[in-house]
Amino acid sequence: MSSLDDILKSRRDTRHFTTDEVPDEVMQKALQAGHWAPSVGLTDATRYYIIKSTEVKTAIKNLFLDYNKKAEELTDNPEQKELYRSLKLEAIEEAPIGLIIAYDRSVLNQFTIGTVGSNEAVKFSSVCAAQNIWLSLTEQGYGMGWVSILNYYQFKKILDLPENIEPLGYFCVGKPATNYNNQPMLQQLNWKQKSEAPTCSEIQNVNESSILETNTAISSKNNVLPDFSKLLQEKIDSKTKPLGALGTLETLAFQIATVFETLNPKITNPNIVVFAADHGIANHGVSDYPQDVTRQMVNNFLDGGAAINVFCNQNNIELSIVDSGVNYDFPTNAKLINAKIAKGTQSFLHIPAMSESEVQLCFDKGKTIVENIAKTGSNCIGFGEMGIGNTSTASVLMSLLTGFPIENCVGKGTGVSDEKLLQKQNLLKKAIDNYSDQAELMSQLAYFGGFEILQMAGGMLSAYNNKMLILVDGFICTTAFLIASKINPNIKENAVFCHCSAEQAHQKLLDYLDAKPILNLDLRLGEGTGCAIAFPILKSAEAFLNEMASFESAGVSRK
């Protein structure tokens, strides 16, 4: 038997195999080694699937080749492109055995102490299993190659894997046909060199800063000089119209000019940001739509086919899509802002949806996203969302933060029946009854929050600090605003509530915030569509303030 150091140093990305069969006892020993790997919280979530069928191998090979073209496009180096084209990965069909190492995400529906900090810990356990399997196979004289360049959604479809099973990739197992001169293949091809020693740094100090503490350092625009407000109101009143005749447009014009701190405000580079994430509570049937619709709709946004795409195009608004925590691995070259915390929250029916550190991370990522948009010269940002189950999350948060009974905070969401609405109410009431933690904001957000909702709250706080106009969409976005306002009440100075949705709790929440929405069109789509539809009204407010004649300039007599 080789020493462990020798086995570790000999590790190679096996890409070519002999036709020798792999004895059953070799695989059994390797899988047992995988089973002995560390398992977070003893979840025992790792699952294995053996593939010997030529038909299945060919289907996976074709899937690889299709996605391989997209991977090739990520490098601009002509030599690397040529090398990449030559890597056809015959091993998928060549290797006697195909192995899928996966983890069962459904274990997260039960309380597991090791996953409270991060759902990803379950995946990490399965990676430990993959390493153990590789070590065992190498010690027995066999090899394993890891194929990860796959469209994982299609991969699961063609193999008919259950929705809760998440594969790490496809692994080829057999007798290695070459050792690549005892070098990793990419190193032998001069693609990339592996460093000689591990990268390790010692951390000696604690970073004392807190995102929420930073955001509570409230700065108010109430210190705007009284003379400015007086001049602004005089400018509005001097337009060729009776006092107040333009109604809400006058209020909006005053607000826009105050936020931008100028008598001649101009909205520049408007941007609507749609934050998307999945929710563990969706596994309990609170929506008529399956959780996978979140991923499907994100792809629809990226393909330009959703309502928000249409309305943003109509009004020349930049659209940004954020993966806050969708239960899917999107391609690295997708036009997507990657702010994924985890693949969905855990179900708050019995356990916390996330950890307090993940709450802080949500605020941090939301802040960074908006800061980067502000750097493009944008001074107007709309917030939208997508996430099956997020009306349930928003309803519970609204109930906790306003004191309203949960029955007043629950609506039909995506359009559930009356019977299902009652079930939804009872389920959320049970979840609140099960909550025994403190009535403290961070604890409540960690237990019931959603990744996209908290990232929006962090983004809104950042937008206020960057003197941006904040466009608030429907019920879920207003709940995010509610959270942000609990941290900094002055944020309302910058907020424009674009519409009142058909979600029955939205009007109650707007009343609680003393907010007057611009529109009431019975919308209940989300995506930030209300922001995009209301945007022309903001432009009208801007236009009349900047371009409409005054009584004096037009030679018109005042009343």
Examine the residue annotation and report whether 163 is marked as an active-site residue of this protein: no
Distance between CA atoms of 515 and 284, rounded to whole angstroms?
33
Tell how strand 97-104 and strand 46-51 pair up. Answer: antiparallel
Q: For the chain, count helices (H), then strands (E).
A: 22, 10
Distance between CA atoms of 463 and 469, rounded to whole angstroms?
7
Tell how strand 143-147 and strand 318-325 pair up. Answer: unpaired
CB atoms within 10 A of CB 145: 24
Distance between CA atoms of 549 and 555, rounded to whole angstroms?
9
Tokens at 453, concatenated: 């909702």
Distance between CA atoms of 94 and 19, rounded to whole angstroms?
7
Q: Is 520 helix (H, G, I), strand (E, B) or coil?
A: coil
Identify the active-site residue in 94, 166, 503, 527. Answer: 527
CB atoms within 10 A of CB 305: 11
Tell me the residue ranges of DSSP E strands in 465-532. 469-472, 495-497
Specify the amino acid at residue 184.
P
CB atoms within 10 A of CB 510: 19
Residue 226 pairs with which residues in a beta bridge?
A: none
Q: Which residues are catalytic?
A: 527
